[in-house]
Structure 1
Amino acid sequence: MTGVASIAKRFGFTVAALVAGLTLVLGLATPAQQQARPAAAESIVLVGASVPQRAWDTLARIDAGTWPPNDGSGTKGGGTWQNRDGTLPRTDAGGKAIAYREWDVNIKQPGRNRDAERIVTGNDHSAWYTADHYSSFTRMR
């Protein structure tokens, strides 16, 4: 008898029940279950991974209330971001809805459109960086 089968028999489990339980506990999934997961989770990267210093500097200015600069450059910040695709969490750990605001990371250059870099902040104190105009996010805090 194999090790798994003998453990299952000893504790009165079938091998199938043991495998199902381990799958649940370890967060394993079949390929079909993995495909059923929302794409949103795939667009979020580890905390702080590959966030450029300029984004950290902008976040500090957002927190200080000095971003965007009032210089007529066309740099935007503080507008509502809807999270329509549910890419970011919709609720905090307590189940309260999270409201988000979006901010340009860089000052808009004259004669050019705003670039793709943004920071999205939540009323739960979260902050997210995107280099590709909301296609993927890296959690800053």
Structure 2
Amino acid sequence: MTAPSAESSSRTRSRAGVLLALLLALVMGLTGCSLLEAPAERPVAPAQATDPVSGLDWVDQDTLPDEAQETLELIDVGGPFPYDKDGTVFGNREELLPDREHGYYHEYTVVTPGESDRGARRIVTGGDDEYYWTADHYASFERIRRTA
């Protein structure tokens, strides 16, 4: 029996290297990996649909009617407000908002085009950073997600 030649060993190692490279390429292709591409960024988690504190659905500020956006701007600067009742204590008698001490919530009218009175639309605030929207005079609420 003769010993394998150096040339035969070199060809065997070369074949093994090629097979290993092909196997690595196959595995990377099947798993979506690439040495040429930067790692994918982690997907951004979507915003929660429900406020965990109040249990109410979130509504983005920029999806509210223009009149509601104007009311939010007035709230931010402290008025002046179009109605005498704006800024008065909201009693939460419907108990749809989180239970807080009397005086915590305040209500503001959102002008409704075509209405001769205050209409049904309101923004209710609580503390420094809670804003709630109702389009149906307190029958339902959504928590407003403020935009920067």
Shorter chain as denominator, the TM-score bin is: 0.5 to 0.7
Deviations 1:56-107 (A, max 9, x none): 22111111012414xxxx463011101123201125xxxx887100110117
Task: In structure 1, list runs of 5 or more residues that go unmatched.
Answer: 1-39
5 Å matches for 1:1-141? 41=55, 44-48=56-60, 50-69=63-82, 74=83, 76-91=85-100, 99-106=104-111, 112-141=116-145
With the length of structure 2 as denominator, give the TM-score of the two structures: 0.50
Runs of 4+ in 1 over 3 A off after TM superposition: 107-110
How many corresponding residue pairs?
A: 91
Would the alpha carbon gap of residues 114 and 98 (structure 1) be closer, same or farther in structure 2, given more than 3 Å must change?
closer
* TM-score of the aligned structures, taking structure 1 as reference length: 0.53
Contact map agreement 1:130 1:137 (CA 8 A) in 2: yes
User: Gapped runs of 5+ residues in structure 2?
Assistant: 1-53
Report if aligned partners of 1:75, 1:106 keep a CA contact under 8 Å in 2.
no
Q: CA RMSD in A?
A: 3.0
Taking only the aligned residue pairs, the percentage that are identical comes to 38
Partner of 2:7: none
CA distance 1:124–1:79, shift in 2 (3 Å): same
Letter in 1 for 2:138: Y
